[in-house]
Amino acid sequence: MLPDYRVRQRDFLLEISRAITAQLDLGEVLRRVLNASITMLAGQVGLIALRSSEAENQFVIRAISGVSSERLPELNRLLQELVLDAESGGDVASLNEKLRRMAEAIHPGLRQGIALPLVFAEEALGLLIVFRSYISTATANDLQVLQSFADQAAIAVNNAQLYARIDRERKRLEAIVENSADGVMILDDDLHIERFNQALARMTGWSSQDAIGRHQDEVIIWERIEKPDLRDALDNGWPFRRPEGAPAETLYVEGDLQRRDGMTISVGITYAPLLDSDGNLTNIIANVRDITNFRRTQELQNEFISTISHELRTPITLIKGYAVTLQRDDVEWDPEVVRDSLGVIEDEADRLSALVEDLLTASKIQSQRQVELNLVDVRLDDMAARVVERFKTQTDMHHFTLNFPPDFPVMQGDEVRLRQVLDNFISNAIKYSPQGGTIEVGGYVEDDYVVVYVRDEGEGIPEPDLNRVFERFYRVDGALSRKTKGTGLGLYLAKAIITAHNGTIGVESQLGQGSKFFFKLPL
């Protein structure tokens, strides 16, 4: 039979081995290993150092007992000397001397240091050192028990480190999923929701708490869908219809989704299957992207291309038509007819040139985010008078009035660009008041600003459109605007020009009562 002290030793070893291997928290494992080691070796002070992730041959103290944490820098330095000596092939006497110096550095009463390497799968994970107040030579049985304990401790430390890494990775992935700009939803194999992130909650109006546990079809309700939905794809064999060994294909579904509050949102959902080692479907990860703005941009782009094509085709057709007519050999044209025809060609060429210039300017603003200005002294009242005189020849249905005070100030500005703004204001006033009426162009001084405005008596602008009329390519949707030529660039360019002058631009309007466009420039 085993002696009593060996039975107690074995039972103690089993007890602490169970205790430390039952833990996955690294800090708690280190604490239990250290306390058990001090008890087994009748020590007073102990420390555990683990290999640093930054340098392979460097160890850092991660747990201490019986000594103040203020001593850590000194102990880490002495520990590094010990490790370097061991790795360079130092003998036992040299290592024991360094352990003794570490013991004395901790407390003069400590006489001996016992070091146990923590090794798992032939990889050194760390070092366990216990210091005690007496010197004793361990027996072969003591060394065997201590080595068994060190092996168990190494297993526990390795498991705890693996768990810590897995936990960090889990938290990192959770943070990525939860804070993703796209919606993320995880479904089980029965299409019940297991995960529902913040972005998707904002898109759908469903809170995570309400969505989790529900069937996908209760939350993802299509008002309009362009492709077969997830259920149809599953019924038709997705994701298993693929060549053997090929990765599972994703499924893309796009359409208008009904939010919980009854509103709709355009989304594109990419479903990715998650299969186990046997090829069975375990989860489906859905990435949901809000494509409302993308669709709106596509619509604007298509509308813009259509509008520009029309705007370009009209003057080109007129120019070609008049040029072909003038070249006919079977007709002798009257000089006045030729002059009028050439005038039309010139006007339409100017129109084409202005359109191209607007497109180039808009593109430059988009790329450079600014408008280049050539600043000179500008009399806005005189400029307005000249612009009005030019537009009087273009309409017989409108009456123009000028309303500037006699002492209207001279200011710094880009005369060409500011005239472009006034041209746009007055041109729109004519186009959007087809029944005629008075167009008033005026200005006044308000605090440290000059204000210039153009007021018409046209149809006016609906309130929802007032904040959007200065957007690029935006045109108010209405019967009159659909019949009126325009690219939706004029007011966009006007705003860019006024903003470059450190000014502001705006509009006041009511349906049926006309509109007032104005800009303010600092004196």
β-pairing, 411-413 with 398-403? unpaired
Each residue's pLDDT tens digit, 266-288:
999 999 999 888 888 999 999 99
Q: Would you place residue 310 in the very low, low, confident or very high pLDDT band (cuts 50, 70, 90)?
A: low
**Token reading at 487:** 């690219």
Calpha distance 119→17 (Å, rounded): 15
Q: What is the pLDDT of residue 9?
A: 61
pLDDT over 70, % of the chain:
86
Long-range contacts (CB closer than 8 Å, 24 or more residues apart) made by 420-425: 420/493, 420/494, 420/497, 421/494, 421/497, 421/498, 421/505, 421/519, 422/383, 422/384, 422/387, 422/452, 422/454, 423/387, 424/490, 424/491, 424/493, 424/494, 425/454, 425/494, 425/517
399 DSSP β-pair partners = 438
Per-residue pLDDT reduced to its tens digit, 70-121? 888 888 888 888 888 777 766 778 888 888 888 888 888 898 888 888 888 8
Domains present along the chain, CATH in parentheses: 4-174 (3.30.450.40), 183-290 (3.30.450.20), 295-368 (1.10.287.130), 376-522 (3.30.565.10)
Largest interatomic CA distance in the chain: 136
Look at residue 447 and give its three-state secondary structure: coil
pLDDT of residue 482: 46
pLDDT grade, residue 500 (50/70/90)? Answer: confident
Question: CB-based burial of residue 437 (10 Å sphere; 0-12 exposed, 13-18 middle, 19+ buried)?
Answer: middle
Res 484: pLDDT: 53
In angstroms, what CA-CA distances link 273 with 240, 265, 276? 10, 25, 10
| pLDDT band at 1; cut points 50, 70, 90 | very low
CA distance 322 to 316: 10
Alpha helices, H only, 179-259: 198-204, 208-211, 216-219, 230-235
- By residue count, the chain amounts to 523
CA dist., res. 173 & res. 260, Å (int)? 28
The model's confidence at residue 354, banded by pLDDT at 50, 70 and 90, is: confident
pLDDT digits (tens, 9 = 90+) for 321-353: 888 888 887 778 888 888 888 888 887 787 788
Confidence of residue 480 (pLDDT cuts 50, 70, 90): very low
Tens of pLDDT, residues 140-160: 776 777 777 778 788 888 888
4 versus 502: which is more confidently predicted?
502
Report pLDDT digits (tens) over 414-427: 898 898 889 889 98
Quote the pLDDT of residue 100: 85
Q: Residue 220: left (phi > 0), alpha (psi -120 to 50), or beta?
A: beta
**pTM flag (> 0.75):** no
Beta bridge partners of 184: 287
CA 340 to chain centre: 58
Q: Which residues contact 106 (CB under 8 A, 6 or more apart)?
A: 45, 67, 71, 75, 131
